[in-house]
Amino acid sequence: MKSAVETLNPTRVRLTVEVPFEELKPSLDAAYKKINQQVTVPGFRKGKIPARVIDQRFGRAAVLEEAVNDALPRFYTQAVDEGKIEVLGQPDITDIAGVENLGDGGDLKFTAEVDIRPEITLPEFGAIEVTVDPVEVTDEDIEKSLEQLRERFGSVKAVERAAAAGDVVILDLEAKVDGEVPEDGTATAVSYEIGSGRLLDGIDDAVIGVEAGGTATFTTELKGGTEAGREAEVTVTVTAVQEKELPELDDEFAQLASEFDTLEELREDSRKRLARMKEFDQATQAQERVLDALLEKVEMPFPEKLLADEIETRKHNLEHHQLPQMGLDLEAWLKTQDKTVEEFEKETEEQAKKGIKTQFVLDQIASDEELSVSQEELTEHLIRRAAGSGLTPDQFAQQVVQGGQVPLLVGEVVRGKALALVVEGAKVVDTEGNPVDFADEDEEEAAEAATETASETSETSESTEG
């Protein structure tokens, strides 16, 4: 076999392949064998039909077509290997010639155009500088944390008075759009804490001052359902008013809500816990900002077909999978997001470009640094991913294996390690000018956090490898 590579642009090549008849003979033999098993000819046992009879009865063209279909993928892959090309996606195979002459010992010729990974020049990691929020736990943070803990151990009691801010009310609601109640326009026995902002805009003002059995009407924009984004007239009926009762913040509460004997010990533990959380948030922020800074320093052409496919797949996933689960179509969702179609199209393209670029850049770093993934690292990542999916590790692992997604999981881990390497080499300071060093951070937690950051950003709808 002979092959040649022609560069069409920085992200696409054309392969020209010429295969002598001798190298096609195994595919021809396989074609005759396959057809032998599929057809019946009187006077011959199944699988024992001579080749000349198959040619006479079914035509030489059918055999050649079967042979070429078997041979093309094999010789294409061989040409890619010989040319040492990092291909992306599936090729467009065209200009198949010479098939009509195969019977006379002629050669098979074809061309294949395919996207390739662009060449990337990486910056010095030390030239990357980012600023992050400082790790600072205030007394206000601690009191807020303790208040949330009190809420968890609180209770409610029914009261015979008008509803006030902070009360929990039980509500029946009915929404009308253009005077009609839509199919999903009613709800009953909805529990709502006044002031939480977890329901409809305007509902707090409507129910404050209303006693059990009372009603109120207000106008608002619906946030979800079949009429999302439309203005509706909502009638709310208060069926019960409940007052919240919270435990006293004292040593007795500390013993009830924790393993500590005193409130002071609980406060100190809250301070340490909040500090750990803020340190993790700071590390995540650093990873995100370092990644953004890295991408800004890299110039990269985008493979046109790969980019177009990625944009289309993202749109498809949103319109046919995510939005239906929310009870919305694209038009209604755009209204809730206050976006035009043009803005949505531009945003989707930007997200697709960032995802592709992140993957390519981190893959290049992983290749340059010869990063690898151990079985232990892959298992730990799988367990964390399983926890986030709601499946057991065994169930998630089975799903991954059956879906052929093990390479994708390996890619996530190795990209996380690449990003962690960049963060380590970058200059990170907080807003107060203090250098931030992640050397003392738990190595496994840091690597996994970087993996999550890299995965979320570089997530593409399917593998880019050919």
pLDDT of residue 257: 94
Q: Which fold has domain 2-115?
A: Alpha-Beta Plaits (3.30.70)
Confirm if 455 and 413 have CB atoms less than 8 A apart: no
Cα 64 from Cα 61, distance rounded (Å): 5
Q: The domain 257-461: what is its CATH number?
A: 1.10.3120.10
382-435 tens-digit pLDDT: 998 888 888 898 999 999 899 888 998 999 999 999 999 999 999 999 999 999
Instruction: Report DSSP state, residue 281.
Output: H
Element (H, E) at 163: none
Confirm if 313 and 464 have CB atoms less than 8 A apart: no
Cα 315 from Cα 292, distance rounded (Å): 24
58-112 tens-digit pLDDT: 877 778 888 888 889 999 999 999 999 989 888 998 877 755 555 556 688 889 9
Confirm if 28 and 20 have CB atoms less than 8 A apart: no
10 Å CB burial of residue 69 (0-12, 13-18, 19+) is exposed
pLDDT of residue 262: 96
Helix ranges, 369-442 (H) = 375-389, 393-402, 406-425
What's the pTM value of the predicted model, to 2 decimals? 0.76
What Rg, from alpha-carbon coordinates, does the chain have? 32
> 155-245 belongs to which CATH class?
alpha beta
pLDDT of residue 142: 96
Position 445 pLDDT exceeds 70: no
* Residues contacting residue 179 through CB under 8 Å, at least 6 positions apart: none
Position 43 pLDDT exceeds 80: yes
Record the tokens describing residue 131, joined without a space: 């600023």
Position 189 pLDDT exceeds 50: yes
Every domain of the chain and the residues it spans: 2-115, 155-245, 257-461
Matching CATH topology for 155-245 and 257-461? no
SS3 137: coil
Cα 38 from Cα 59, distance rounded (Å): 15
226-278 tens-digit pLDDT: 888 889 999 999 999 999 999 999 999 999 999 999 999 999 999 999 999 99
Q: Which residue has the tokens 């094999």?
A: 74
